Amino acid sequence: MSTPPAPVAAPAPIARPAAEPGNPYRRLLATPGARAFTAGNLIARLPMGMFSVSAVIMIAGAHGSYALAGAVTATGLAATAVVAPWTARLVDRYGQARIAVPATAVAALGSLALVLCVHYDAPVWTLFASYAATATTPNTGGMSRARWAHLHKGDPAALHTANSFEQAVDELCFMLGPVLAASLCGALFPEAGTLTGAVLLMTGVVVFAAQRATEPPVAPRDTRAGSPLRARGMPALLTVFLATGAVFGAMEVVSIAHAGGAILALQAGGSCVAGLLYGSLRPAASVERRLVLCLTGMTALMSLPLIAASTTGSLPVLAGCLLLAGAATAPTMVTGMTLIQRLTPQAQLNEGMTLAVTALLGGIAAGSATGGWLVEHAGTATGYAAPLCAAALALVIAAVPFAAPRRPAPGATDGA
């Protein structure tokens, strides 16, 4: 793979459904080939919410240590932060099908190795090595967004709906995945969640990659172009994703400590519904200003759980506040990803979106640590100050460079 293939001529454009009044999601999925690659992608993305929960249950059950289980999953997260951008760069350079399938096979083998190491009581270091191998999992959500960007290039309204749909899918998978994982591990055996996740991931990626008609062609790569990190505005935007990830990580830890994990489904549910509603609206012209507005709304709504936990002590009230707080999540993520697409050259689109996900994961790790520290030293009610402060930080970071419109990078996707 040392020499990239010669640029391939783009296939004949796929006919888009006529723009007519009605449900924008129905029109989106009426795009030829869209339902097929979406089905494969859904299967592949469901395990993303399963693996960490399954690993914690499996390792803690076998070794009696949640600290070890947490350390193993944290190592996998760190490995993903390093490996994922390189995997995405290979996808951009050689094509989705050519890279995604073998990369997923390596990740699936890592999951199977983890199961065997736990089951046969292998040395502890093998758990870390096995879980680190799963870092080659490709960013299936990013690849799906890249397909939409290819199919609807030059149609900001369709791309806005597509990005909203993909964010709603993310929320759905992270809402259902942990429940499925815990159910499988509890009802069958501790390794069932990891095994099922590996099978679903491999199956979904194979189905997704088989849809070659909708795969974006390999774009000619400018050898002088560096990392998408060098694109104007990208460092600031990735910092926004980092702070936004801290919102999610802190909210998860604090909510689990305060009321148990089940209540988190309300936040994900609110985000899923808000994402679908957001995608049905006509987007404002300036993506940058829209991001600032979304972050303003997120900061305001993140104050509600803090107020509820500090003043009422009522779980139903807190649940309603989490539902409302989640409503700001999807619009913020949709707008941020749209801006990533605008700032990233077409030939590096998967890498750019994966960098955003990597920043998000880093923020989740930092937010989890901060939220846990606050819970331990100041109580669970005060812990809700962590996601509020992280949202305010994201707003401040975004307000300066993104308050005024800027032009996309040369060759970047024309997002919504």
CB 193 within 8 A of CB 181: yes
The span from the first CA to the last CA of the chain, in angstroms, equals 35
Tokens 């500090």 identify what position? 310
- Determine the length of the chain: 416
Spatial distance between the Cα atoms of 196 and 201, rounded to a whole number of angstroms: 9
Spatial distance between the Cα atoms of 31 and 287, rounded to a whole number of angstroms: 25
- pTM, whole model, 2 decimals? 0.80
Spatial distance between the Cα atoms of 354 and 349, rounded to a whole number of angstroms: 9
CB 390 within 8 A of CB 243: yes
pLDDT of residue 6: 46
**In Å, how far are 50, 54, 119, 193, 357 from 179, measured between CA atoms?**
8, 10, 23, 10, 23
- Residue ranges and CATH numbers for the domains of the chain are 34-218 (1.20.1250.20), 227-416 (1.20.1250.20)
Mean per-residue pLDDT pooled into runs of 10, the chain (416 residues):
46 49 84 92 90 84 81 84 91 92 95 94 92 92 91 88 90 82 86 93 95 87 71 91 92 81 79 90 83 96 95 91 92 93 86 90 84 86 94 94 55 51
Token digits of residue 172: 């759905």
pLDDT of residue 19: 46
